[in-house]
Chain A
Amino acid sequence: DIQMTQSPSSLSASVGDRITITCRASQSISTYLNWFQHKPGKAPKVLIYAASTLQTGVPSRFSGSGSGTDFTLTISSLQPEDFATYYCQQSYGTSYTFGQGTKLEIK
């Protein structure tokens, strides 16, 4: 199975900061990589699919890049509503896997 490793596991930042979360796959997954935002008690929300395509309705401050094994999610200017947990997820194989998550907290 393909393993996904995110870093950091947690991140403390301020409103207006630029932050980057990284995700590494245990083997090449081309660009079959999606990013989700998850808030407590809510359904997860897809932000980015195909490594860099912004889902409809998602603010342009979110961006994704990468291919092969290394990927990044960047938030260019944090807003109060962005504090949540973020997950990468691969859709390359016959079984999907998520990264362990990155909890983004307010500094």
Chain B
Amino acid sequence: EVQLVESGGTLVQPGGSLTLSCEASGFTFSNYEMNWVRQAPGKGLEWVSYISSSGSTIYYEDSLKGRITISRDNAKKSLYLEMNNLRVEDTAVYYCARDNSYFDNSGAGYYMDVWGKGTTVIVSS
């Protein structure tokens, strides 16, 4: 079964740090780009970060640049999100999601086709 399982979410104080993990199974992890997406309480989905299959290309949501680092270990079939200087507004459920590719008349495109169930980060004093 194709599966993503996040872990590492917890209660952390403002200014603290945390690393989230996402373990993949049921597919060849090293062949796929990956993303982190979050949902704050009562809010919509927000894309956080992207990493290419090799880890050589990385993108971040502008407002989070400088505070987060995405990484992966293909040998361990795992994706990570390191978060520093956490703020109350970082409180959210964090999902990892696999990017799948397609090709049509417009060229190559991507969509997030496999998602984990999420891990909850609460930033509070």
Contacts and interface: CB of A to CB of B under 8 A. Distances in A.
B45 A43 contact: no
A24 to B, nearest CB: 16
A101 B104 CA distance: 27
Interface residues of A, number: 28
Interface stretch (B24-32, B68-76, B107-115): B107-115
Main secondary structure of the interface of B (DSSP, over half): strand
Contacts of A94: 50, 59
A43 B109 contact: no
B109 A31 contact: yes
Contact of A96 (B44, B50, B62, B102): B50
A31 B109 CA distance: 9
Contacts of A34: 111-112
Task: For chain B, give the interface size range.
Answer: 20 to 34
B102 A50 contact: yes
B112 A46 contact: yes
Interface in A43-102: 43-46, 49-50, 53, 55, 85, 87, 89, 91, 94-101
B53 to A, nearest CB: 16
Contacts of A107: none
Contacts of B55: none
B117 A42 contact: yes
Interface of B: 35, 37, 44-47, 50, 59-62, 95, 97, 102, 104, 106, 109-113, 115-118
Which 10 A-B pairs have CB atoms at the shortest separation, nearest pair first? A49-B111, A43-B115, A101-B44, A96-B47, A34-B111, A30-B106, A98-B45, A91-B110, A94-B59, A100-B44
Interface of A: 1, 30-32, 34, 36, 38, 42-46, 49-50, 53, 55, 85, 87, 89, 91, 94-101
